[in-house]
Structure 1
Amino acid sequence: MITPEDAEFHPSGTARMWTETNYFGFDIPAVPAHVGLYALFRPNLGTVNSAVFVNSRKVEASWEVDFWDSRAYLPLPESGSLLDYRLDNGLAVRCLEPNKVWELRYDNGESLQVDVRFEALMEPFDIHDPDMDPRAKAAGRGDLSAGGAYAGHFDMTGAVTGHVVLNGARHEVDALSTMDHSWGVREERQLGTMTWLQCHFSRELALHAMFDFDPTIGPDRPFEAHLTHGYVLDGGKALGLKEGSARMTRKGMYSDTLELHLVDAHDREYRVRGVAQTRAPIQYWPGSMAFMVMPRWEMGDLVGYGTSTDFLDLYHFTRLYNN
């Protein structure tokens, strides 16, 4: 069970690689663009890894996106708190109500300014709580979320309002978002895989799912992904997913078309199809590469947006390209 105290740093003991992360990413469908605000804290090393980016195109390299700022050795914030901090790269986060409301700001003093507010539409979804997640005890060997890096983890869908100024152009933001917070011992090598995916249809209806997949399936080949955790947000309440699968076609290593079949704890089925509108490689932390796309989702007559991100460790690539 997630409590308000879990919005803050957790006791880290003496583990050198103890890590806490926060991700706040949101879409601007009219562009279409995705804005990512990520921070990975290693309190026992005194460092923060942060990635801030904006992408509206289909690109092959991170330096081709609209905006990219990646730092590996920022100092820990002077506040010593996840509830109110500012990093030296210009990212500032203030939690007004634990696990419910955050103010998110970023300013590099030149080409990108972000000023938005995230307001939760649900309670935090604890992937380790069997009362909330029917798959809490079903993690497989390839499931990244089963490792020590996700000893604690929650996801939460919310509404994001405010504005972004990119290269002088102002974009109003009134969007949906799924954030997450993880804590645990996160080594630099992580041999599991994960697809982290959201379909946002309205403030009343959204889907969030995590999958694992076979990392030996290479570029331009279709692949199947298998549900590890997830929920449907329905009218302000999240209901866990108990079964699910995804089938993706790829262009290179990027998902291009995505077909989801999900079943919630009440046996309701959801069939969703997505087509990627953007794509970019995002390196959230050294040692891993994530292939992010922003699909346009359709479920019956409903249309939504949200990202799908496939995480692989760099270790996996030697097997992909040397066989």
Structure 2
Amino acid sequence: MSETRVVSAGGQPAAQMAGAPLTTVSPKDELLHPVAPDAGYASTETSYFGFNIPDKRLNGEVYVWFHPALRVMSASVYIWRGIKRSTLACEYVNHFHFLPFPDGDIDDYTIAPLGLRIRVIEPLKSVEITCKDPERDVSFRMTQTAIMPPAGRPGGFHFTQAMKVDGELNLHGEAFTIDGYFSRDRSWGQERHEVARIAPPISWMVGVFGDDFAFHVLAYDDAALEPEWAGTFTSPPPGKNLIWGYVRRDGETFPVTRAGLLTVREPDGLAPRTKTMEVEDAGGKVHRIRGTVDARMPWQTWQNMNVYFCLTRWECDGRIGWGDTQDIQYNEFVRRFARF
């Protein structure tokens, strides 16, 4: 197979971001951004929120994908418990590919077909999200409060931010208290093409251990650690697998400079079971982190890509944290390594 250019999910070369300084995020980045007159059809903004209840092996995701040049949007709410082999096996799925673009801005807006309202209480600090589906007896209310400033991706146009989440969930008549952490994600100003990349899986990973310690890593497995695809895909080369990330510790946010990542998969060859990393931050500290998937479901974000969304239990230095793993896979990997 020919060598491929290592890119992030947003299309920017990974070599330009790995270990580079994080960028500053402005309160206006909570709002829709101006669309250039010559913007392509794939111009994108996204907002991603969620919650988890680890002792119930329960995860919830809210994803909104704006297409400003086309003046349409996509939106989803997913809630599931434990391991699911199909998206539609989730306890709750409500997804729309095509919805009208918002009339106003997105600091306080409603997506009526989903019964979803997203309201920014204080920019970059607090967001309230409610969802009501009386026909299916599902509803939730949550407030997300920042435990850190947003970490802007090197080069801009994107941030990730660890949040404390409090609220309530009604799931088909069963009541749950939401009291945990989640890392929200927001992007804008670039094109996101639904192309079929020739590349190994990409891991989008976040974990929060408390108000004082959180991380985000976007990376491929390191070919030096001999993942299952080693020898099949020639890119990324050993040691060049990191796209970007951060570690929040000691009251500071450090860029990640290295991430020795290895994924172990289920017997089907695809579904991730564990993620093991040696992460070094720009402050010179090395973090040995092991993640075990506790709840999982597959979602075809678009037809050329499948993502395993995973509630992951993280262990680091004797501490336990929780967060999402998104294992992003393309056709070339799946057709070669699936063992059904």
- TM-score class, shorter: 0.7 to 0.9
State the match for 1:20 in structure 2.
45
User: Are 1:51 and 1:284, in contact at CA under 8 Å, matched by a contact in 2?
Assistant: no
Amino acid in the other structure paired with 2:206: Q
Is 1:263 the counterpart of 2:280? The answer is: yes
SS of structure 1 residue aligned to 2:114: coil
Is 1:241 the counterpart of 2:256? The answer is: yes
SS of structure 2 residue aligned to 1:94: strand
Q: Quick one: percent identity of the two aligned structures? A: 25
Amino acid in the other structure paired with 1:189: V
Q: Which moves more between the two structures, 270-279 or 286-295?
A: 286-295
Is 1:104 the counterpart of 2:110? The answer is: no
Is 1:42 the counterpart of 2:67? The answer is: yes
User: Are 1:176 and 1:203, in contact at CA under 8 Å, matched by a contact in 2?
Assistant: no
Amino acid in the other structure paired with 1:203: D
State the match for 2:166 in structure 1.
161
Aligned with residue 78 of structure 2, among 50, 53, 77: 53
Aligned with residue 294 of structure 1, among 302, 306, 311: 311
Q: Distance in 1 between matches of 2:127 and 2:215?
A: 21
How many Å apart are 1:199 and its aligned residue? 1.9
Q: Distance in 2 between matches of 1:177 and 1:81?
A: 24
Indicate how the Cα distance of structure 1 residues 76 and 210 shifts in structure 2: closer, same or farther if over 3 A, else same: same
State the match for 2:205 in structure 1.
197
Indicate how the Cα distance of structure 1 residues 213 and 24 shifts in structure 2: closer, same or farther if over 3 A, else same: same
State the match for 1:125 in structure 2.
151
Q: Distance in 1 between matches of 2:337 and 2:41?
A: 31
How many Å apart are 1:93 and its aligned residue? 0.5
Q: Distance in 2 between matches of 1:45 and 1:286?
A: 19
Is 1:273 the counterpart of 2:290? The answer is: yes
SS of structure 1 residue aligned to 2:28: helix
- Alpha-carbon displacement from aligned partner over 1:138-184 (angstroms, at most 9, x marks no partner): xxxxxxxxxxxxx6111111111111111111111111111111111
State the match for 1:4 in structure 2.
27
4+ aligned runs moved over 4 Å, structure 1 = 213-218, 318-322
TM-score, normalised via structure 2 length:
0.80
Indicate how the Cα distance of structure 1 residues 242 and 9 shifts in structure 2: closer, same or farther if over 3 A, else same: same
Is 1:85 the counterpart of 2:102? The answer is: no
Q: Distance in 2 between matches of 1:311 and 1:198?
A: 14
How many Å apart are 1:319 and its aligned residue? 5.2
How many Å apart are 1:111 and its aligned residue? 2.8
Amino acid in the other structure paired with 2:178: V
Amino acid in the other structure paired with 1:165: N
How many Å apart are 1:75 and its aligned residue? 1.1
How many Å apart are 1:320 and its aligned residue? 4.8
Indicate how the Cα distance of structure 1 residues 98 and 190 shifts in structure 2: closer, same or farther if over 3 A, else same: farther
Indicate how the Cα distance of structure 1 residues 166 and 235 shifts in structure 2: closer, same or farther if over 3 A, else same: farther
C-alpha RMSD of matched pairs (Å): 2.5
SS of structure 2 residue aligned to 1:30: helix
Amino acid in the other structure paired with 2:327: D
SS of structure 1 residue aligned to 2:315: strand
Amino acid in the other structure paired with 1:239: F
Amino acid in the other structure paired with 2:91: D
Q: Which moves more between the two structures, 33-42 or 54-63?
A: 54-63
- Alpha-carbon displacement from aligned partner over 1:256-299 (angstroms, at most 9, x marks no partner): 12211101111111111122111210233443210122222211
Indicate how the Cα distance of structure 1 residues 279 and 28 shifts in structure 2: closer, same or farther if over 3 A, else same: same
| Consecutive unaligned residues in structure 2, runs of 5 or more | 1-23, 230-237
TM-score, normalised via structure 1 length:
0.84
State the match for 1:140 in structure 2.
none
Q: Distance in 1 between matches of 2:130 and 2:332?
A: 34
Indicate how the Cα distance of structure 1 residues 114 and 315 shifts in structure 2: closer, same or farther if over 3 A, else same: farther
Q: Distance in 2 between matches of 1:170 and 1:35?
A: 14
Q: Distance in 1 between matches of 2:300 and 2:105?
A: 25
User: Are 1:189 and 1:313, in contact at CA under 8 Å, matched by a contact in 2?
Assistant: no
